[in-house]
Amino acid sequence: MQYLSLATLVGIATTVSSHGVITSPTPRIAGAVSRAACGTAITLLHKQDVTDHVEGMPQVAAVDSTYHADECNLWLCKGLQLDEEASGPVQTYSPGQVVPIEVYLRILHAGTANVSIVDTASNTVVGSELLYWDSYADEKLPAVPANNTLFSVTIPSDIEEGKCTTAGECVIQWWWYGVGARQTYESCVDFVLAPTAPSSRIRRN
């Protein structure tokens, strides 16, 4: 399991406006590919604070000529792109595999959260939501519930054959919305499904 050090992830943060990111497995982080799609201004925001929220980014992007709306959907993975140079190798998972995920919450904002597999081309959820919290990151609780920052998802066994087999096609996206703060947080892990063993594909009638 790869861990990004918190120093790497948040050490350069100077603005303390925000608030959460996946730290393991290694999530999408800003690099050359994201910069080409999302532009220099958004990339600067990504680099200043990897935990930052989405709101505010569209306004920044709108006045940056290096932002390409057709290549950078800020509401999917905060616009971050597949970039193995920046984020390291794409994960390979098998159907049924339990994947532990660790999240760093920098500042709490009570809200809801979910984890889903998302088809990045269409920005649609593949299958059903994997996890859902109706109460997440509640700053009024005496302590952050352990399952807010350390949890696992099970890769579904019924993903359509051939889907999520190309790097960049599918991500595991952690999504959190702070209701009072009206702030959305997204963090994505690139993965591909391991090829199914040929024998298990044979249907017996």
Q: List interacting residues with Cu ion (CB under 5 A).
A: 181
How far is the CA of 178 from the CAs of 76, 77, 105, in angstroms?
A: 17, 16, 12
Q: In the chain, how long is the greatest CA-to-CA distance?
A: 62
Closest to Cu ion by CB, 35 or 53? 53
Taking the complex as a whole, the smallest distance from the CB of residue 137 to Cu ion amounts, in Å, to 10
Taking the complex as a whole, the smallest distance from the CB of residue 107 to Cu ion amounts, in Å, to 6
Closest to Cu ion by CB, 130 or 181? 181
CB 44 within 8 A of CB 61: no
Taking the complex as a whole, the smallest distance from the CB of residue 142 to Cu ion amounts, in Å, to 20
Closest to Cu ion by CB, 54 or 181? 181
Closest to Cu ion by CB, 170 or 181? 181
Residue whose C-beta lies closest to Cu ion: 181
Closest to Cu ion by CB, 184 or 196? 184
Distance (Å, rounded) from C-alpha 101 to C-alpha 24? 6
Taking the complex as a whole, the smallest distance from the CB of residue 27 to Cu ion amounts, in Å, to 19
Neighbours of 107 (CB within 10 A): 15
Distance (Å, rounded) from C-alpha 189 to C-alpha 172? 5
The single-letter code of the amino acid at 101 is I
Closest to Cu ion by CB, 173 or 183? 183
**Burial of residue 28 (number of CB atoms within 10 Å: 0-12, 13-18, 19+):** buried
Taking the complex as a whole, the smallest distance from the CB of residue 30 to Cu ion amounts, in Å, to 20
Taking the complex as a whole, the smallest distance from the CB of residue 175 to Cu ion amounts, in Å, to 16
- The SS3 of residue 9 is helix
Bridge partners (DSSP) of residue 182 are none
Distance (Å, rounded) from C-alpha 115 to C-alpha 110? 17
